[in-house]
Amino acid sequence: MTKWARRLPLHPVLGRARRAWLALCLLIGVPAAGLADIQSARFIGPTTHYDHGILGDAVEYSGMVVTLSGGRRFLVGHSEGERVFEDTAPRLWDVTGDGAPEVVVIETDPPRGAQLAIYGEVAGRIEKIAATPHIGQTHRWLAPIGAADLDGDGHIELAYIDRPHLAKTLRIWRYQDGKLLHVADHKGLTNHRIGWTHIPGGLRNCNGSELVTANADWTRIMATRFDGKTAQPRDIGPHKGPESLNAALRCK
């Protein structure tokens, strides 16, 4: 089951946070001596240069710190005015199927909109190992749902809602041979409203993996399965607010 994430409130002032981020850049990122698993990830470097505000405020993040087992830390950072992490928090999802997590984030290029990006450990360093294409236009966003072997073929699929306020389209990608392959779409589903600091619903396993979202007009809860070819939503009850989507993850 994938637990939904709420965007953390911004407590430090931006100037102080940027100075701390620059100091951190000087302290981390030394290559590890050997292979290690990812233990945690967090965003740093709050920035206001991208004025989308889809998550309720004008603040996004220009950097991310990833910690490996043994305590080694790595910085993934973008210069001021460039890409941002337009997200609630990094997700630790096993994308490669090896039992160890990768870091999955919403990463936005201001002129081209959001993409789903995967960062993993490569020879003791943290690198972007795969990503979906950017949506293609500024102020366009996506909302992740979850990652699992949805069709039982031995490969992990990742799912998100493309433009949950506009296109309301489920997209499913398969990670295979080091690449993301687009395998299915289904219109008429959503999982986020403008200004929400969280993305409700997610992945559940109720005698098989299902993607929990709302329908396009926010009246019903939908559980979608993927058979390897098509996405197959089914109605599992009335939508009564975001907590009802989260409750549906418990398979009751």
Banded model confidence at residue 8, pLDDT cuts 50, 70, 90: low
Per-residue confidence (pLDDT) for residue 81, from 0 to 100: 84
Q: What share of the chain is helix, strand, coil (3-state, %, to 5)?
A: 10, 45, 45
Beta-bridge partner residues of 117:
105, 131
Per-residue confidence (pLDDT) for residue 2, from 0 to 100: 45
Banded model confidence at residue 252, pLDDT cuts 50, 70, 90: confident
Neighbouring residues of 186: CB distance < 8 A, sequence distance ≥ 6: 169, 170, 224, 230, 231, 233
Banded model confidence at residue 223, pLDDT cuts 50, 70, 90: very high
Both tokens assigned to 19: 């100075």
Dist. CA 30–CA 138, nearest whole Å: 34
Q: How many CB atoms lie within 10 A of CB 24?
A: 17
Per-residue pLDDT tens over the stretch 182-197: 999 999 999 999 999 9
Largest Cα separation within the chain, whole Å, is: 53
Q: Which helix (H) or strand (E) holds 26?
A: helix 14-27
Per-residue pLDDT tens over the stretch 113-159: 999 999 999 988 899 999 999 999 999 999 999 999 999 999 999 99
Tell me the pLDDT of the chain averaged across its residues. Answer: 90
More confident residue, 35 or 201: 201
pTM, 2 dp: 0.88
